């Protein structure tokens, strides 16, 4: 099974239009156009009943004390944790691609709706919660449930280049047994023993001009 994208090359930089945040010369960071990238896959094995797509950033600082603080740098040596950027389940097995901007085109304050996808072009696909749900918790302007795709916005003072791993999983289940506002750990647990094949590609992104 192979996964590829017309939006960026494996191991290459993710273009700004597919990010949540972009470099701003005055404010360090500004909102970007936040479009989901194009993804396509081939060589799916026989017996597949549905597909799952996850985008995860494993390079998020484990301690946030210095994140986006003027005069400080988040050291590359700091231990890192996961941050989910996209959680899409129950894609029909016949699906072979997702168009750029098909599921996300712009930043939605307080998050896009879900888990059902309005005007869903690929029923019965569902979106799970991404990491911005926790990141913006308590924020009067941005707090809410963030479903679906929301792109990269790493700390602008992080010394480490962030890696965004897009993975498509081919399952022997027509519907994944997760309900409500489900999250990445729940999806990973529910897929155990049901993955027939998987494929990944990785894009890079940073908001720190010194890392580019």
Two structure tokens written together for 66? 């210095």
Contact 136, 184 (CB under 8 A): no
pLDDT of 16 over the 90 cut: yes
* Distance in angstroms (rounded) separating the CA atoms of residues 181 and 171: 21
Q: DSSP states of 87-132 as a string?
A: EEEEEETT--EE-TTSS-BS--TT----SBPTT-SSTT-EE-B-TH
The pLDDT of residue 29: 97
Terminal CA-CA length for the chain: 32
CA atoms within 13 A on the CB side of 137: 6
The pLDDT of residue 46: 96
* Distance in angstroms (rounded) separating the CA atoms of residues 86 and 129: 8
pLDDT of 6 over the 90 cut: yes
pLDDT of 122 over the 90 cut: no
The mean predicted confidence, pLDDT, of the chain is: 97
Q: Which of 212, 210, 103 is CA-nearest to residue 149?
A: 103
* Distance in angstroms (rounded) separating the CA atoms of residues 27 and 137: 22
Tens-place pLDDT, residues 21-65: 999 999 999 999 999 999 999 999 999 999 999 999 999 999 999
Instruction: Spell out the residues 6+ positions from residue 193 whose beta carbon is closer than 8 angstroms to its own.
Output: none
Which pLDDT band, with edges at 50, 70 and 90, does 120 fall under?
Answer: confident
The pLDDT of residue 139: 96
Distance from CA of residue 26 to its chain's centroid? Answer: 27
The pLDDT of residue 121: 82
Q: Which of 153, 150, 182 is CA-nearest to residue 52?
A: 182
CA atoms within 13 A on the CB side of 166: 28
Residue with tokens 């990491």: 131
Tens-place pLDDT, residues 140-171: 999 999 999 999 999 999 999 999 999 999 99
Contact 100, 35 (CB under 8 A): yes
* Distance in angstroms (rounded) separating the CA atoms of residues 114 and 119: 11
The pLDDT of residue 9: 98
Distance from CA of residue 183 to its chain's centroid? Answer: 12
pLDDT of 104 over the 90 cut: yes
């Amino acid at each position: 099974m192979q996964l590829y994208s017309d939006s960026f090359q494996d191991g290459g930089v993710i273009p700004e239009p597919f990010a949540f945040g972009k470099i701003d010369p005055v404010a360090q960071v500004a909102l970007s156009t936040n479009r989901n990238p194009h993804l396509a896959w081939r060589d799916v094995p026989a017996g597949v009943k549905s597909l799952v797509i996850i985008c995860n950033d494993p390079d998020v600082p484990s301690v946030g004390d210095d994140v986006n603080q003027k005069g400080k740098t988040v050291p590359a040596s700091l231990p890192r944790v996961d941050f989910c950027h996209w959680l899409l389940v129950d894609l029909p097995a016949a699906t072979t691609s997702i168009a750029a901007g098909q599921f996300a085109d712009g930043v939605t304050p307080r998050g896009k709706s879900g888990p059902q996808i309005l005007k869903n072009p690929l029923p019965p696909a569902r979106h799970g919660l991404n990491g911005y749900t926790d990141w913006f918790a308590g924020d009067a302007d941005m707090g809410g449930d963030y479903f679906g795709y929301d792109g990269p916005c790493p700390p602008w003072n992080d010394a480490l280049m962030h890696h965004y791993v897009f993975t498509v999983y081919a399952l022997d289940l027509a519907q994944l047994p997760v309900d409500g506002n489900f999250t990445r750990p729940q999806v990973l647990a529910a897929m155990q023993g049901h993955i027939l094949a998987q494929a990944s590609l990785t894009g890079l992104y940073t908001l720190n001009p010194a890392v580019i």
